[in-house]
Structure 1
Amino acid sequence: MPDYGHELVLGTFVTPSAGTARDVVELAELTEAVGLDTVTIQDHPYNAEYLDTYTLLTWIAARTTRLRVSANVTSLPLRPPAVLARMAASLDILSGGRFEMGLGAGLPTAASRMTGRQLSAGESVDALEEAIDILRGVWDTGTAGPLRHHGRHYEIPQMRRGPRPAHDITISLGAYKPRMLGLVGRKADGWLPTLDYIKDPDIATSNALIDAAATEAGRDPRDIRRHLNLFDIGFTPVGRAFLQGPPEQWVDDLLSLIVEHGFSSFYIGGDDPAMIRTFGEEVAPALRAEVQEHRRGA
């Protein structure tokens, strides 16, 4: 399925380096200043040189006014889902509804070195599916009675729901393999891969797996947003490769991902202030205009 029709969201993927914490925050502030929508932060707590992602996101939210913030993606094994739900809701309330959740099954070996708990790939997917139910259950303060969950990986005999987030927090999954892509289609609000890691299955097949799972679950595939992290990119006077060229080439390259594959959210990595400025001031307005023109003529 081509363009799914979602509003375009453009932002950055910033490295949470503890040694350059001031620079990290300034990159987030620059993201907002040049008119971009979102800053996302990777979540690898087992790297000692990185800041804690959720502490950093809270600080960034306090230093900005309209910028959305998101973990890209939250490593599930390192935080109990009921605790994570309250962390997310608290951040969303404090930021005035500017938090969205990227979520992943985590890197099993790296996580197990911190938790002492080793899950297989299949078990990690099952645990992630349980966690999604728990997250939404905690946020669902409209349902009477306590939250209870009796699963293979998580046990909640009884807990009070809440707090309710300031808005309905979306959950987008970092997913590459068929089982995870099926979970995106069944339960997630979005798909959040990195372009360089989409190998087998490829983009078209991955989208088809998500759409088929969504349809089977009684969902409309168009309701699932497609995000994309972009690395190994740059602005050059003459085009060299995909997303390595002048701003007008970037517009064409990104438009092809929107029209042909349905992506509507793009986050650029590299931690380069000049790249962020060009992306926000030159690429973003031109791309928005091209998307609007395409949709008018579709």
Structure 2
Amino acid sequence: MTDYGHDLVFGTLLEPPGDNPRRVVELAEFTEEAGLDLASLSDHPYWPERLDTMALLSVIVARTTRLRVLSNLANLPLRPPTTLARTAATLDILSGGRFELGIGTGTQHFWDAITAEGGPRRTAGESIEALDEAVRIVRALWAPGSDLRFHGKHYRLDGAKTGPAPAHDIGIWLGAYQPRLLRLTGRVADAWVPSSPFLPPEHLPAANRVIDDAATAAGRSPQAVRRAYNVEGEFGTGTGFLQGPPRMWAEQLAHLALTEGISTFMLYRAEQPDAIRRFGKEVAPAVRELVAQGRGSGGANSPNR
């Protein structure tokens, strides 16, 4: 049983539609109105029916005042690390420090679409290598210093200029399910973000152990990696995971916070304002109360990241 002590964050995972371009911005605005902390967008740049994730995030931060935003997760094969670094820094500067960068390797189901748009086709091992290189490049470009030279297997920079520097210490969030990518997460990531449809709660303990062991082996504290979770559910009368009334949701999510260290919960495929409202107004406050009671204090005991 592990509670990493992070403050609790609640938000939404929205889908960027193409047929109703204003809808996702309206749902992000409603996310803020519902008292939630974070809005995130998935990223499939090879689907022309969807609007561009990074462009949408820029509109969302312009239309909100306190809402944090996250790419959940940026498609690395079609978004080079230099571009990711500068786009992220720009959004962070313009939003006053409200941007977080989630990066994904791309998945085996979409390699044909990726290569059709000029991206590379990578094996699972190559994808993890490329992600490792990309994280190092992004962080180096955010830091002040001399021209950057990087000669990796997948990326090469010969005197790239660093900057711009972001407004705050942007977190790099990685999605991971398999052991090798979980180990990379433990070594280099600021946050881990799986989705409950693909990694049910009963599989969280094993994945957390892999991340913790890798972090320790790399000389990091396991607490350095925030644990986030895209959670799918339906408010109803069931007894399964997130299938009951708001109070049951709160009890189940508080249990994950106290036993598995999950501190960021994002409502997966949040498409209905009523569900967002109930998540923000009924579930989130109850989870905070239960976790504070479980921790035996008045709230979280570590700074927000």
What's the counterpart of residue 171 of structure 1?
172
**Alignment equivalent of 2:124, drawn from 96, 106, 121:** 121
CA contact (8 A) 2:93 2:167 kept: yes
The question of 1:239 aligning with 2:238 is answered yes
Report the Cα distance in structure 2 between the residues aligned to 1:98 and 1:11, rounded to whole angstroms.
13
Letter in 2 for 1:276: I
Q: Which stretch shows the higher mean deviation, 147-156 or 193-202?
A: 193-202
What's the counterpart of residue 146 of structure 1?
147
SS at 1:103 equivalent: strand
Report the Cα distance in structure 1 between the residues aligned to 2:11 and 2:210, rounded to whole angstroms.
26
CA contact (8 A) 2:77 2:119 kept: no
What's the counterpart of residue 158 of structure 2?
157
What's the counterpart of residue 294 of structure 1?
294
Letter in 2 for 1:226: R
**What root-mean-square deviation, in Å, do the aligned CA atoms of Structure 1 and Structure 2 show?**
1.6
Alignment length (residue pairs): 294
What's the counterpart of residue 112 of structure 1?
115
Letter in 2 for 1:245: G
CA contact (8 A) 2:150 2:156 kept: yes
What's the counterpart of residue 8 of structure 2?
8
Percent identity, please.
50
Q: Which runs of 5+ in 2 are unaligned?
A: 299-305
CA contact (8 A) 1:176 1:201 kept: no
CA contact (8 A) 2:78 2:119 kept: no
Question: Which consecutive segments of 4 or more residues in structure 1 shift more than 6 A?
Answer: none
What's the counterpart of residue 101 of structure 1?
101
The question of 1:198 aligning with 2:199 is answered yes
Shift of 1:79: 1.3
CA contact (8 A) 1:177 1:201 kept: no
Q: Which stretch shows the higher mean deviation, 102-111 or 18-27?
A: 102-111
Letter in 2 for 1:160: K
What's the counterpart of residue 182 of structure 2?
181
SS at 2:2 equivalent: coil
Q: Which runs of 5+ in 1 are unaligned?
A: none
Report the Cα distance in structure 2 between the residues aligned to 1:188 and 1:153, rounded to whole angstroms.
19
What's the counterpart of residue 303 of structure 2?
none
Report the Cα distance in structure 2 between the residues aligned to 1:63 and 1:224, rounded to whole angstroms.
30
Structure 1 residues 186, 160: closer, same or farther in 2, change over 3 A?
Answer: same
Q: Which stretch shows the higher mean deviation, 285-294 or 170-179?
A: 285-294
Letter in 1 for 2:255: S
